[in-house]
Amino acid sequence: MKVACCTVKHSESFCWRKIMNLNSFIFDTSIYVEPEFKYIGNMHGNEVLGRELLIYLAQFLCEEYRAGNERITHLIHDTRIHILPSMNPDGYEVAARQGPEFNGYLVGRGNAKEVDLNRNFPDLNALMYYYERHNGQNHHLPLPDNWELQVEPETLAVIKWMQNYNFVLSANLHGGAVVANYPFDNSREPRIRGKTSNSATPDDKIFKKLAKTYSYGHSWMHKGWNCGDYFDEGITNGASWYSLSKGMQDFNYLHTNCFEITLELSCDKFPPATALASEWLANREALVSYMEQVHHGIKGMVYDENNNPISNAVISVAGINHDITSGTDGDYFRLLLPGTYTVTASALGYQPFTKTVTVGPAEAVQLDFYLKVQPKGNVKAYPNKKGSTTSKSPPTNLGPR
């Protein structure tokens, strides 16, 4: 496997990267605290519109940056933008051989082994739902034993990518419907044929806001009636639509700091080339507006008393049962709606520190933390979501172990 990458600071900011045959563009300008954002397309090989739109988007960002577009310049200078046009190039090749006129609904959906990549991530929902009932961990859930041997090469590459970057916001582009789908995809309730139930995350309000940002930025998604289905305001909770396990968007939320939604962008999974121009115009504003959402909430650094950054510090927001952590350089980003919040930073070996902050509708508020070393003989373990230092272990039959 070869990895080739170039980075140009504060210029065209264009990078071509190959990761396990996954072609990925990165717009990179990292001098100060800035969030990581990603778009992923073509996870299902026969759902091709997202793949084409992301290539259009990469070209658009470069051209508008060179032209001096203030909005795009600001976005590129303040954001690390990762674009992965095709997560499943092998499936795409199978679908492309049939073309748009003869493509079947499932032909090329899976990878070269015909595995559905959106049913291939480690199942952390069962573990999360167990912890909800037993006062357990609420973020960065551990992966099962030997998980690398249980996933496909494409899934493995993407998980490693997630682990190497402190992603804050993401969207996964699909086709076959027109709706913005947000977590959880996997239902808390037992599956009963013909019955679905809403399965909300602790960040349900912000996820709805993110989904509406895309649906109302899109030319017609927000109208609700599309492809014979109706989704109020063009959004839906995943489990409320239909329950799906081992999906990528739930995995992002439960294993990393990243908030991801799934965008279904066309009734036709493989639209003809003649439709691409109109589809690009329908999605362009939504694609840009959604990226801009990464700059809402709070952001900052976690330091010790000597101004050394603290990695893996836990950032907790009172009233929201989902924590995030600082990155390797001590930086953190926490998406929040406008309001007043009580925020606590804690780290192993340090005394926790709490601040109150008011978040407005504009740019993220900078909120830095300086933690004092815990007195010797009084070192405490990381608290979980309710202050307890221990939690019950889940039954061994939960999850894919």
Q: Kindly indicate the confidence band of residue 208, based on its pLDDT and cuts at 50, 70 and 90.
A: very high
Residues 284 and 327 in one domain: no
Longest CA pairwise span in the chain (Å)? 71
Q: Is 264 considered catalytic here?
A: yes
Query: Do 156 and 227 fall into the same domain?
Result: yes
The confidence score (pLDDT) of residue 11 equals 37
CATH code, 120: 3.40.630.10
Looking at the structure, tell me whether residues 166 and 257 fall in a common domain.
yes
pLDDT at 227 over 70: yes
User: pLDDT of 46-97, one tens digit each?
Assistant: 999 999 999 999 999 999 999 999 999 999 999 999 999 999 999 999 999 9
Q: Has residue 31 been placed in a domain?
A: no
How many other CB atoms are there within 10 angstroms of residue 275's CB atom?
15
Query: In terms of domains, do 177 and 230 share one?
Result: yes
CA pair distance 61, 29, nearest whole angstrom: 13
Which pLDDT belongs to residue 137? Answer: 92
Q: What is the pLDDT of residue 24?
A: 55
Report CA torsion sign: 280, 285, 290, 291. positive
350 with 245, same domain: the answer is no
**What's the confidence (pLDDT) of residue 109?**
96
Q: Which of 28, 31, 26 is nearest to 16 (CA)?
A: 26
Q: Judge whether 336 and 298 are in contact, CB under 8 Å.
A: yes
Tally of domains within the chain: 2
Instruction: Let me know the angle formed at the C-alpha of 130 by 128 and 131, rounded to the nearest 5 degrees.
Output: 65
Q: Are residues 100 and 244 in the same domain?
A: yes
Residue found under tokens 């003869």: 102
Which residue shows structure tokens 């836990």? 314
Model pLDDT, residue 376 = 82
Which residues does residue 212 pair with via DSSP β-bridges, in sequence order?
A: none
Co-location of 139 and 96 in the same domain = yes
Question: 171 in helix, strand or coil?
Answer: strand
Mark whether 145 and 262 lie in a shared domain: yes
- Across 213-338, where does the E strand assignment appear? 225-226, 229-230, 235-237, 259-266, 298-304, 314-317, 320-325, 331-334
Domain match, 275 and 318 both: no
Q: Is 225 exposed, middle or buried (0-12, 13-18, 19+ CB in 10 A)?
A: exposed
For 263-304, the pLDDT digits (tens) are: 999 999 999 999 999 999 999 999 999 999 999 999 999 999
Residue 133 lies inside a defined structural domain of this protein: yes
The reply to whether 226 falls in a domain is: yes
Tell whether 340 and 303 lie within a shared domain. Answer: yes
Ranking 16-30, 188-202, 362-376 by mean pLDDT, the lowest is 16-30
Catalytic residue (choose from 36, 52, 152, 264): 264
Quote the tokens at residue 363.
């740019």
Residue 83, pLDDT score = 98
Provide the pairing of β-strand 365-366 with 353-359.
Answer: unpaired
* 3-class DSSP state of 385: coil
- Sequence-distant (≥ 6) Cβ neighbours of residue 290 within 8 angstroms: 169, 171, 210, 213, 214, 217
Q: 123: which 2 tokens?
A: 């199942």
Structure tokens at 332: 């953190």
Instruction: Name the β-bridge partners of 229.
Output: 226
Q: Are residues 289 and 347 in the same domain?
A: no
**Percent of the chain topping pLDDT 70:** 84
Range of the domain at 166: 36-295
The DSSP call for residue 364 is: P
Q: How do residues 309-352 score in pLDDT, each as one tens digit? A: 999 999 999 999 999 999 999 999 999 999 999 999 999 999 99
Which CATH number characterizes residue 354's domain? 2.60.40.1120
51-77 as b/e: b if 16+ CB within 10 A? bbbbbbbbebbbebbeeeeeebbebbe
Query: Is the pLDDT assigned to residue 147 strictly greater than 50?
Result: yes
Cis bond leading into 251, ω under 30°?
no
In the block, residue with structure tokens 């930025």 = 217
Phi, psi of 352, rounded to the nearest 5 degrees: -65, 150
Per-residue confidence at 213, pLDDT binned at 50, 70, 90?
very high
pLDDT, tens only, 112-141: 999 999 999 999 999 999 999 999 999 999
% of the chain exceeding 90 in pLDDT: 80
Among 14-18, 20-24, 172-176, 185-189, the range with the most confident prediction by mean pLDDT is 172-176
What is the model's pLDDT at position 41?
A: 98
Segment among 190-194, 203-207, 350-354 with least mean pLDDT: 190-194
d(CA 387, CA 393): 17
